[in-house]
Amino acid sequence: EVVLMLTVLTEGSDAKQVQEKNSQQMNTVIEALKKAGIKDKEIETTQYSLYPWQEWDSMTQKTINKGYRLQQTISVTTKETAKAGELVELAVKNGINTVDTISFRLSSEREQEVREELLSSASAKAREKAETLAKSLKVSLGEVLYATESSFNNGPWYYGGTAKAVAMETASAPDISPEQVKVSIQVNVDYEID
């Protein structure tokens, strides 16, 4: 699945106006995503931060109050990885002004399937290796004394870094291709020998 982290950053002199403008932009984005087939459960707010906007003036050597900033970030998760570029383009056209990250990962269902397949395969290989070793030592395998497994998920993979929406306004949907997510499992088994 693909996870898009999308932000609306709004600035202004009045906190209430900044909040209203941000809410309006984000609601427009969310509505457009829903029309494109994204379900409610696939959209989550991950950050909502309203704070004073201050900048350092090197000429006066003072901090200047510029007003307020509101940063609202949503996470959009979909199994339709091929639509990542279209969803980014749609979000930007409707008010997103920062694309934080685009990441690819296994869905929890698929990860469970892969883990079960790998555990079964790794356990069988561990038994085969132990039997080969036991045969070469002229002993036989007894009961399993101890077994452990370690999982490694080389992901999620991130596409680029932060992209400002200005660069995408005139472009077509970006071509975003997922990398493979690699999962490996290591099984260690201690056998009793006879």
Q: What is the pLDDT along the chain (194 residues), one digit of tens a residue?
A: 899 999 999 999 999 999 999 999 999 999 999 999 999 999 999 999 999 998 898 999 999 899 999 999 999 999 998 899 999 999 999 999 999 999 888 877 877 888 888 888 888 888 888 888 888 988 888 888 888 888 765 554 444 443 343 334 445 667 776 666 777 888 888 888 88
Contact (Cβ atoms closer than 8 angstroms) between residue 151 and residue 115: yes
For residue 95, what are the CA distances in angstroms to 160, 171, 174?
A: 20, 15, 17
Beta strand 163-164 with 182-193 is unpaired
pLDDT number for residue 5: 97
Q: How far apart are CA 32 and CA 26, in angstroms?
A: 10
